């Protein structure tokens, strides 16, 4: 499937353009390219690969992925008995008016639904392409290269003041993922070196060069996180990186239950640290934010008024004119957790946290059980840990570049969390 791989890498190549150039045009290419990639995959996917996908991507994953889409459709439907009656009284405050549905902006929710389905499609495309070991390597390297490129742009912005970023929060979140992805690339290089020690001298000479490249890439991503001067971002990046290192240590030294206990202790320390930081704030969705107090207060007021089913996916900009003063400069929620609670309902946030925690467990368990190539699912699980922390720190993870990148990483890790028995050429 070389053409499907090319489309997948092309989609990832859009991420730096989205973050640096911005604008509403580039994200519109995503559904078109995804559709082309999925059509190619459906035509070229071998029966054995299709069977492997159906084994790995089980019914619980499908049902979990379908639930947000169903909720968005319900938000769009003209179900007046579920609509928030408060918005009827302030109908003139909305640009397009309110039409008796849960969503206060049906068009924005429809666009959000398309974006969500695109993310699900990206997971499926990445999983189908990455069944093959060589293609999985290309996908990991491509995703890592994207984070390094964006990290360079972030460094130019934070260290030298160059205006090269259209989406600053999203760029910083990408750098956090890059810390783990560069470590995964280093493990890829090391494992391939171990299995090819009997190769030619030319092959052996490439090993230090490749490892040096991984080290440089790691330093760039770590420096981009450091340059933000934000301890919360460093914590998010570090939590994912340490999770990856813990899984690698368990695999390399066959620590077994002792290793599992070590991960449990590490997780307990992280949870304790988080609770300690959040102790001064009654709402964890704002406990780790150091932004403008006016923006925090604005988001808090919108959140307090949000009904059980939310105000509609993608509708936060439509709510701003109702709450925002003339001189306020906020254009988005301060955290992704608060935004999700406002748009999809407060219960949806904690359902998403539980689903993400379960996905982390599946990925890390798969990494612990695999022989070679365990770093794929380990990296995906570690990146998901970082994303869970970032959800309570910034709103960048809902950006189109972060969604594309995260979906690709998750699809790669999920399909590689289980090896294909009897096929030595596959991961």
pLDDT at 423: 45
Yes or no: say if 289 and 296 are a contact pair by the CB < 8 Å rule: yes
Residue 323 phi/psi, 5-degree rounding, is: -105, -25
- Cβ atoms within 10 A of the Cβ of 43, count? 10
Count Cβ atoms within 10 A of the Cβ of residue 415 and give its class: 0-12 exposed, 13-18 middle, 19 or more buried. buried
Give the integer Cα–Cα distance in Å for 140 and 73. 34
Bridge partners (DSSP) of residue 132 are 426
**Is the separation of the CB atoms in 144 and 13 below 8 Å?**
no
Rounded distance between C-alpha atoms, residue 404 and residue 121, angstroms: 10
CA atoms within 13 A on the CB side of 334: 22
How confident is the model at residue 268, as a pLDDT?
65
**pTM (2 decimals)?**
0.90
Per the CB < 8 A criterion, the answer to whether 144 and 107 are in contact is: no
The tokens for 102 are: 């849960």
User: What is the model's pLDDT at position 320?
Assistant: 83
User: Distance between CA 415 and CA 225 in Å, rounded?
Assistant: 29
Reduced to 3 DSSP states, what percent helix, strand and coil does the chain have, rounded to the nearest 5?
75, 0, 25
pLDDT per residue of the chain (427 residues) written in tens, 0 to 9: 788 999 999 999 999 999 998 777 788 889 999 999 999 998 888 888 888 888 888 778 888 899 999 999 999 988 877 776 666 555 555 555 566 788 888 888 999 999 999 999 999 999 999 998 899 999 999 999 999 999 999 999 998 888 888 788 899 999 999 999 999 999 999 988 887 765 556 666 788 999 999 999 999 999 999 998 888 899 899 989 988 998 888 877 766 666 666 666 666 666 666 555 554 555 777 767 776 778 888 888 888 888 888 888 998 988 887 787 655 556 778 899 999 999 998 899 989 999 998 999 899 888 888 777 889 999 999 999 999 999 998 888 999 999 999 999 999 999 998 876 544 444 4
Residues 6+ apart with CB under 8 A from 405: 12, 15, 143, 146, 147, 174, 177
Q: Name the burial class of residue 222, with classes exposed (0-12), middle (13-18) and buried (19+) by CB atoms within 10 angstroms of its CB.
A: buried
- Rounded CA-CA distance 263/382 in Å is 12
* Token output for 213: 């490249």
The helix/strand/coil state of 132 is strand
Per-residue pLDDT, 248: 87
At a CB cut-off of 8 Å and minimum separation 6, what does 44 contact? 1, 4
């Amino acid at each position: 499937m070389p053409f499907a791989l090319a489309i997948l890498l092309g989609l990832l190549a859009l991420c730096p353009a989205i973050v640096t150039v911005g604008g509403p045009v580039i994200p519109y290419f995503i559904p078109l390219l995804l559709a082309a990639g999925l059509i190619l995959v459906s035509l070229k996917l071998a029966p054995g690969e299709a069977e492997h996908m159906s084994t790995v991507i089980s019914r619980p994953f499908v049902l979990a992925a379908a639930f947000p889409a169903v909720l968005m459709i319900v938000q769009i439907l003209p179900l007046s008995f579920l609509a928030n009656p408060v918005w009827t009284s302030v109908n003139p405050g909305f640009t397009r008016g309110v039409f008796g549905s849960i969503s206060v902006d049906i068009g924005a929710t429809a666009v959000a639904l398309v974006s969500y389905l695109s993310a699900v499609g990206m997971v499926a495309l990445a999983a189908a392409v990455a069944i093959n070991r060589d293609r999985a390597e290309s996908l990991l390297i491509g995703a890592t290269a994207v984070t390094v490129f964006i990290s360079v742009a972030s460094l130019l912005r934070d260290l030298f003041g160059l205006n090269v970023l259209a989406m600053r929060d999203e760029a910083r979140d990408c750098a956090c993922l890059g810390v783990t992805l560069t470590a995964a690339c280093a493990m890829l290089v090391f494992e391939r070196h171990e299995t090819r020690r009997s190769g030619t001298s030319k092959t052996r000479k490439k090993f230090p060069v490749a490892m040096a490249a991984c080290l440089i890439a790691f330093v760039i991503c770590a420096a981009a996180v450091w340059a933000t001067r934000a301890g919360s971002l460093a914590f998010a990046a570090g939590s994912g990186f340490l999770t990856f290192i813990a899984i690698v240590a368990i695999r390399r030294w066959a620590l077994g239950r002792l290793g599992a206990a070590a991960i449990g202790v590490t997780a307990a320390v992280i949870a304790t640290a988080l609770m300690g930081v959040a102790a001064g704030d009654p709402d964890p969705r704002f406990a780790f934010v150091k932004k403008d107090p006016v923006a925090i207060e604005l988001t808090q007021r919108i959140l307090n008024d949000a009904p059980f089913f939310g105000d509609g996916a993608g509708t936060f900009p439509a709510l701003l004119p109702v709450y925002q003063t003339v001189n306020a400069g906020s254009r988005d929620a301060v955290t992704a957790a608060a935004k999700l609670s406002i748009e999809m309902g407060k219960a949806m946030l904690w359902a998403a946290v539980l689903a993400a925690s379960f996905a982390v467990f599946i990925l890390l368990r798969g990494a612990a059980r695999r022989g070679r190539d365990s770093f794929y699912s380990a990296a995906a699980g570690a990146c998901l840990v970082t994303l869970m922390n970032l959800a309570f720190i910034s709103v960048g993870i809902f950006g189109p570049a972060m969604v594309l990148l995260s979906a690709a990483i998750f699809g790669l890790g999920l399909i590689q969390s289980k090896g294909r028995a009897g096929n030595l050429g596959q991961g």
